[in-house]
Amino acid sequence: MPPNTPICTPLTLPVWLEILLPLGLWCLAWSLQSQLPLLYATGASIIFFPAGIRTLAVLVFGWRGALGVFAGSSITYLWFFETLYGAERPLTAVLYIALASALPAYLCMRLTLWWADIPNCLSRLTLKHITLIVVTQGLTSATALLSIYLYSGLSPTYADLPPDEALRTWAAIAIGDILGSMLLLYGVAIGAQKWAAQPTLSD
C-alpha cells in the first residue's frame, strides 16, 4: 500500500471531506479548549484536547487529515495570537506553528507503523502502538512549538525566557498534548464500544 494512503476505515469519503472534517473538528475542539481553565502559559495548556483530534485525523485520514489539521491550526492560532497581541504579528510564524502541530503527528504515525511493521489498518493497532504515537507526537510537537515561540517573537511571554522556565513550559506543552490525546482517544474508544454494543433492529 502506498505510504500516503489513509488507514483503512469503514468510511468512504471524498478527499475534500477528509480534509474539511479534521479542520472543523480541530476548530470545535479549540473553541471548547478555550473555555477551560487549563492554560499554563501563552500557547501551552496542561491538558490540550485538540491534540487528540490531530492524532485521530492522521490515523483515519493519513496526509489528508494532517492537511486538515494544518488548515485548522492556521485559523485558530492566527485568531488566538491576533486577539492577544494585534494583527501586526507575523503570519509566517503562525504558519510555522500550524506546521509544527500537523507534521509531527503524521510523521510519528508513519514511523510507528513502519517500526511496528503493521499495514495501514486500524484493526492492527494496539494500545502500545497508539501510546507510542501519542507520546512521540507530544514530545516532537512540544520541541518544535517551543522553538518557534522562543525565536519568532510571536509572544512577549517568551522574550528572554530563563532556561528553567523554558524547560517547564516545554514539559507543560508535551504533557498537555499527551494527556489531551489519550483522554480524547479513550473517550472515543469507549463511545464506539457502547455504540457497537447497542442492539440493532435485526436483533
Domain ranges in the chain?
15-191
Question: Kindly report the CA angle at 22 between 21 and 26, in degrees rounded to 5?
Answer: 120
What's the mean pLDDT in 9-16?
Answer: 71
Asked whether residue 72 carries a pLDDT value surpassing 90, the answer given is: yes
Q: Considering the entire predicted model, what is its pTM?
A: 0.83
Pairwise pLDDT comparison (189 vs 180), residue with the higher score: 180
pLDDT given for residue 188 in this prediction: 78
What's the mean pLDDT in 143-160?
Answer: 83
The runs of H, that is alpha helices, within 86-162 are 91-116, 127-152
What's the mean pLDDT in 46-57?
Answer: 92
pLDDT given for residue 192 in this prediction: 67
What's the mean pLDDT in 128-149?
Answer: 91
What's the mean pLDDT in 45-61?
Answer: 91
Asked whether residue 155 carries a pLDDT value surpassing 80, the answer given is: no
Q: How far is CA 117 from CA 100, 113, 195, 196, in A?
A: 26, 6, 30, 28
Least confident of 15-24, 45-54, 82-91, 184-193: 82-91
Estimate the crossing angle of helix 163-197 against helix 127-152, to 10 degrees. 140
Pairwise pLDDT comparison (7 vs 31), residue with the higher score: 31
pLDDT given for residue 3 in this prediction: 46
pLDDT given for residue 164 in this prediction: 92
pLDDT given for residue 92 in this prediction: 81
Asked whether residue 197 carries a pLDDT value surpassing 70, the answer given is: no
Pairwise pLDDT comparison (119 vs 30), residue with the higher score: 30
Which cell numbers in the block locate residue 162?
530563563
What's the mean pLDDT in 1-21?
Answer: 67
**Which residue bears the cell 513550559?**
169
What's the mean pLDDT in 68-94?
Answer: 78
Cα separation, 122 vs 75, in Å, equals 29
Which cell numbers in the block locate residue 185?
482517544
Cα separation, 27 vs 38, in Å, equals 17
Pairwise pLDDT comparison (27 vs 120), residue with the higher score: 27
What percent of the chain lies above the pLDDT cut of 90?
A: 41
**Which residue bears the cell 488548515?**
71
For domain 15-191, the CATH architecture is Orthogonal Bundle (1.10)
How many other C-beta atoms are found inside a 10 Å radius of the C-beta of residue 152? Answer: 17
